[in-house]
Amino acid sequence: MAKPEFDDIYMELAVNIAKRSHCIKAQVGAVLARDTRIISIGYNGPPSGTHNCDEEFPEHGCARDSKGSCSLALHAEQNAILFAAKNGSQVDGATLYVTLSPCIACARIIFSMKISKVVFLDSYAQYKGLVADEGVEFLRKFGVEVIQYDKNRLSHLFK
Ligand SMILES: [Zn+2]
Ligand SMILES: [Zn+2]
């Protein structure tokens, strides 16, 4: 039997980690890997020890920012990168697997942390109804490899 690729293993993990999110609107998961090892994981949500949006604001959800996103949450990428940085892991040259392509704010952080590759599942622009994926464009412009993962490879997860 063919062995699964690391891309498939990490993206499947990111999809499963997304389900841990307490966010009402979007659930995003991220896996940060380097040299075939996982450095960190993250999902979108407020900093741990603060809010659980779904439990605190079950009816209308939490307060929204100007772009319609949760005003309390860190994005999955941010949570994954912060955890790695906090624990002194080397993030330089790592690959980030994320279920939604990075927004521009996350793109700036990803670039600054010298993450060299991003593999995403769904387009943030498509999800938000925006014309361009600014985060993806920013990363590509400054030399970070960004590829969209072929969702069909994980078709068993989306039935
Ligand atoms: Zn929220
Ligand atoms: Zn973001």
Per cent of the chain over pLDDT 90 is 67
The verdict on whether 12 is a catalytic residue reads: no
Q: What is the pLDDT of residues 97-153, one digit of tens each?
A: 999 999 999 999 999 999 999 999 999 999 888 899 999 999 999 999 999 999 999
Of 55, 59, 77, 137, which residue is the catalytic one? 77
Ligand 2 center to 156 CA (angstroms): 27
Q: What is the pLDDT of residues 49-81, one digit of tens each?
A: 888 888 888 887 788 887 777 888 999 999 999
Closest CA to 138 of 114, 106, 96: 106
Closest CA to 19 of 67, 48, 50, 54: 54
State how far the Cα of 135 lies from the Cα of 101, in Å rounded to an integer. 7
